[in-house]
């Protein structure tokens, strides 16, 4: 089948990937210094953990809210850029203010936690709208996994470099570290603004009526967010439990090595997904992750034969990461895409927090059961989506009488 990968708006994709790298950098700096900044104001480590929990809970609500606002803005203005620009400016400014505020001992000790929460909310303001921009970065949705593979690669690279980045940020001090995050975000966002076209639609007094709310699509998105987050996290945790003590070359950990595998396979997997778009690769990948988890649950520790399985795991996870957002875009109509992606991000964050707090890593059997069930659910959801796509394709190709 002929592909149209040359028509992908690569400059836009690269700008979005740069923003994702900046987001990762800012969160690394934030988590590295938050305890120190709050400790200087007399807050305990437990309070720091509670603050991070509050931020996750707020994101569950605010990610969909800002996603819906961006959908509305798209209908009114023909662009999501104003909301993105506002969020980026607020996030960058507040981020710089955190270490500056941290050196002062103000009478109102709750100012610093409030500013930290304000920064986390500002970050939710633009993340979802930026990801929705991927929808118009490709000539059709079939190319989306290839475009998203660049972001998958960036996330994997940041996962590999995270310990080194964190050590480097801790070495330079809070203000330079936070300044680096803000400047990186502003530069990446400026690049995105330069490659986005000006709104084609004129300003209108009343937005066009959107399609009805896709409630079934929202339910499927919530289920996919939970299944993907829990299933992939439990498989990774099982890898670390079995092989985490094995030293790798160049001084990297097993977790870093797995992230590296996903990073280098992301783009080739995206290309294969485009070439084999008629096949249910997302469902196959989730199914393979299910099989891998079952194998790992019965595997003896440090079995060298699992090197091959690690490569297959990396292929499956890269396929899943490349294909999850396109799955949501297929499930949710385009005029509700921001709300759909916001729901996915919010629920994913909540699911990750719940898994770490309610399902302890020591409970191997419980974790294994939860992981297998979640991956099986994700497999079914992906196969249902592919079946609907195939049925619609056949209906369109049927001769009209």
Per CATH, which fold does 214-392 belong to?
Answer: Growth Hormone; Chain: A; (1.20.1250)
Is pLDDT at 136 greater than 90 in this prediction?
A: no
**Can you tell me the distance from the alpha carbon of 103 to that of 69, in angstroms, rounded to the nearest whole number?**
36
Q: Tens digits of per-residue pLDDT, 20-48?
A: 999 999 999 999 999 999 998 889 999 99
Please, are residues 330 and 385 in contact by the beta-carbon 8 Å criterion? Answer: yes
Q: Which residue has the higher pLDDT, 401 or 225?
A: 225
Confidence of residue 395 (pLDDT cuts 50, 70, 90): very low
The domain limits of the chain are: 9-199, 214-392
pLDDT of residue 398: 46
Q: Tens digits of per-residue pLDDT, 100-129?
A: 988 776 777 889 999 999 999 999 999 999
Is pLDDT at 250 greater than 60 in this prediction?
A: yes
Contacts (Cβ under 8 Å, ≥6 apart) of 348 = 225, 226, 228, 229
Please, are residues 63 and 124 in contact by the beta-carbon 8 Å criterion? Answer: yes
Q: Which residue has the higher pLDDT, 382 or 75?
A: 382
Please, are residues 37 and 302 in contact by the beta-carbon 8 Å criterion? Answer: no
pTM for the full predicted model:
0.89
Is pLDDT at 399 greater than 60 in this prediction?
A: no
Contacts (Cβ under 8 Å, ≥6 apart) of 327 = 224, 282, 381, 382, 385
Please, are residues 306 and 240 in contact by the beta-carbon 8 Å criterion? Answer: no
Percent of the chain exceeding pLDDT 90 equals 65
User: Does the domain spanning 9-199 belong to CATH 1.20.1250.20?
Assistant: yes
Closest-CA residue to 167 (of 20, 49, 33, 21)? 33
């Amino acid at each position: 089948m002929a592909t149209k990968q040359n028509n992908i708006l690569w400059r836009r994709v690269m700008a979005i990937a740069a923003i994702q790298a900046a987001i990762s950098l800012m969160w690394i700096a934030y988590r590295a210094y938050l305890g120190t900044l709050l400790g200087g104001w007399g807050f305990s480590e437990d309070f720091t953990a509670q603050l991070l929990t509050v931020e996750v809970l707020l994101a569950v609500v605010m990610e969909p809210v800002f996603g819906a606002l961006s959908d509305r803005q798209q209908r009114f203005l023909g662009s999501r850029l104003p909301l993105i620009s506002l969020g980026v400016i607020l996030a960058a400014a507040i981020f710089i203010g955190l270490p500056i505020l941290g050196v002062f001992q103000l009478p109102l000790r709750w100012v610093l936690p409030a500013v930290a929460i304000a920064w986390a909310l500002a970050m939710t303001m633009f993340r979802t709208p930026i990801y929705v921009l991927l929808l118009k970065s490709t000539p059709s949705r079939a190319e989306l996994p290839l475009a998203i593979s660049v972001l998958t690669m960036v996330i994997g690279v940041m996962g590999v470099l995270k310990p080194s980045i964190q050590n480097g940020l801790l070495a330079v001090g809070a203000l330079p570290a936070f300044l680096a995050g803000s400047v990186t975000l502003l530069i990446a966002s400026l690049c995105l603004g330069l490659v986005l076209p000006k709104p084609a639609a004129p300003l209108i007094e009343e937005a066009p009526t959107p399609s009805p709310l896709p409630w079934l699509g929202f339910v499927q998105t919530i289920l996919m967010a939970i299944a993907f987050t829990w299933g992939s996290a439990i498989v990774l945790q099982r890898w670390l439990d079995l092989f985490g003590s094995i030293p790798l070359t160049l001084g990297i950990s097993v977790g870093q090595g797995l992230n590296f595998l996903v990073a280098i396979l992301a783009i080739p997997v995206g290309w294969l997904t485009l070439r084999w778009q008629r096949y249910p690769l997302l469902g196959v990948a989730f199914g393979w992750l299910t099989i891998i988890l079952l194998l790992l649950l019965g595997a003896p520790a440090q079995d060298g034969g699992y090197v091959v399985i690690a490569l297959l795991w990396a292929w499956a996870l890269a396929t899943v990461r490349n294909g999850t957002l396109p799955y949501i875009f297929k499930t949710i109509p385009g005029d509700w895409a921001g709300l759909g992606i916001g729901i996915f991000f919010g629920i994913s964050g909540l699911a990750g927090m719940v898994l770490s707090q309610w399902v302890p890593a020591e409970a191997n059997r419980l974790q294994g059961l939860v992981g297998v069930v979640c991956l099986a659910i994700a497999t079914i959801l992906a196969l249902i989506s592919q079946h609907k796509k195939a049925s619609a394709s056949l209906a369109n190709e049927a001769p009209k009488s």
